[in-house]
Amino acid sequence: MSSETPTVGVLALQGDVREHLAALTSGGARAVPVRRERELDDVDGLVLPGGESTTIDRLLRTFELREPLRERIAQGLPVYGSCAGMILLADRVLDGAPDQRTLGGLDITVRRNAFGRQVVSWEEDLPVEGVTGDGARVRAVFIRAPWVEEAGEDVRVLARVGSGPAAGRIVAVRSGDLLATSFHPEITGDDRVHRYFVELVRQRLRGREHEERRV
């Protein structure tokens, strides 16, 4: 554990794992895949990647990771969920599969596949609070993406769609050390969202180190 180079895992059961590992490395973390509970124990933060939320949910149970991960989230593990990862972090899901379960932690209601089928996936340049500034924007790639229908009082909205039929829809949120985006920054070559998350992990570690020194 190092607050300067934190170890950040990527849940490696399904989805765009390799792209997140590369973006985290570029963003200043030691990036590792996580498939087992013992690997989860060794990380300072975790990314839940895009993919198929129902498949990841099923694999979490198969690999006996669901309950350990829920426990770590409840204990304050910093987690970033992109696309399917946002669904997994949401407390409530609309249009989910009948037996679909989430990890929870974010007081949001998400609509699964809100942007439509994969053939109508699209892109837009968006300002993202805390990530961009001075008029800069992030290229947001939406692939069968969810959006946030409702966000709780303690959830900060970081980005909304700026144009088109989905204008105004919430697509990036943060609550404490939990971060989620509807879009896929890992596939654009832009590591700013991952740098933002890595800094959240660093701040969490620095706070822990400070408490340990006081004791």
Q: Out of 20, 83, 124, 194, pick the active-site residue.
A: 83
- Distance set, CA 163 to CA 105, 126, 153 (Å): 29, 10, 25
Strand (E) positions, 78-182? 79-82, 90-94, 106-111, 122-126, 138-142, 147-151, 156-160, 170-175, 178-181
Which residue among 19, 20, 124, 184 is the active-site one?
184
Encoded amino acid at 84, one letter: A
Is 67 annotated in the active site?
no
Q: Do 110 and 150 form a contact (C-beta atoms < 8 A)?
A: no
Q: Answer yes or no: are the C-beta atoms of 47 and 8 closer than 8 Å.
A: yes
For residues 170 and 157, the answer to whether their CB atoms sit within 8 Å is yes
Catalytic annotation present for 209: no
Placement of tokens 């992109």 in the chain: 82
What tokens were used for 83?
A: 């696309």
Select which of 19, 20, 124, 186 is catalytic.
186
**SS3 for 73?**
helix
Based on the residue annotation, tell me whether 149 is a catalytic residue of this protein.
no
Active site residue ranges:
83, 184, 186
